[in-house]
Amino acid sequence: MKLPFEKTTQRMLAVIALLLPLAATPAFATGPTCSGTCPAAATGTLQVTATVSSAIQFKFNSGSGLALASGANTNAATLGFGSITEYESAPTGMTISTSPTFCTSCWSVSTPVAFDVSVSNMTSSNYTLTGYLSAAPPTGASLSVNNSAALTTSATTPTTIDSTAAYGTGTSYDVSLGLANTGVFTSQISDTINFVATPN
């Protein structure tokens, strides 16, 4: 069946007229589909970057019975032995030994010093503790930690104090000052022990 051209055109226009309202519905439109007032909104993006580096921290513990004069909870402390003689009783918190192992023909005075060593963002089960002196002690005097060999001034080959030291709080070591029996000390003995904690 063949329809006349005019009739076909009329039918098409009628169909278009019916479809026109549909063309304006949300199904044809892009954008918000809410009616009335939409709440205004916006988005933002903040890019955050950081680099976490591993760290090891060393600080002196302020435990009871310790003879730290200052610097507790820091990594720079002062330890004072006061005035000592071989044959008198040791000051509180100190021990006098007449036969220490790190020096010969000497006596020593010792006191415990505790460290807090903590490690962050690295895999390490323990650490090696070494020490060296900033300056050579006076003749006849020597320093030792936990009966290690007498400390030297060599920073490149420091004396090993503990090769498997445990992380955590309150690890205690005896700091000893050895004095030769024949030594004559007319002035105050002063020196600095540099402790080095190296993660294993």
Partner 1 sequence: MASFRPVLIFGLALMACVPAWCAASRVRLGRVPIRRLPMMRVRIAGAMSVNFLSAADTASIQGAQGFGVLNLGTVSYAGPVTARGVHIRHQPSGFDVETSLVLRIGSQSPAGGTASVRAWLQNLVNPYRIFLDGVPLSQHPVCVDAHVPVGVDTRHELKILVPFDTSASESKLQTEISLQVVSN
Q: Pick the closer one to partner 1 by CB: 39 or 188.
A: 39
Q: Catalogue the E-assigned strands of 73-140.
A: 78-79, 95-97, 106-120, 127-133
Residue 75 or residue 181: which is nearer to partner 1 going by CB?
75
**Shortest distance in whole angstroms from residue 18 CB to partner 1:** 11
Our CB check for partner 1 shows the closer of 56 and 196 to be 56
**Residues, the chain:** 200
CB of 73 to partner 1, least distance (A): 12
**How near is the Cβ of 118 to partner 1 at its closest, in Å?**
7
Q: Smaller CB distance to partner 1: residue 26 or 93? A: 26
What SS3 class is residue 11?
Answer: helix
CB of 114 to partner 1, least distance (A): 19
> Which of 47, 157 has the CB closer to partner 1?
47
Cα separation, 54 vs 44, whole angstroms: 32
- How far, rounded to the nearest angstrom, does the alpha carbon of residue 119 sit from its chain's CA centroid? 5
Q: Are 150 and 161 in contact (CB under 8 A)?
A: no
Question: 53: which DSSP letter?
Answer: -
- Interface ranges with partner 1 (CB under 8 A): 5, 8-9, 12-13, 16, 19-21, 23-26, 28-32, 34-57, 118-123
CB of 74 to partner 1, least distance (A): 12
**Both tokens of residue 36?**
């009335």
- 148 contacts: CB under 8 Å, gap ≥ 6: 102, 131, 159, 160, 161
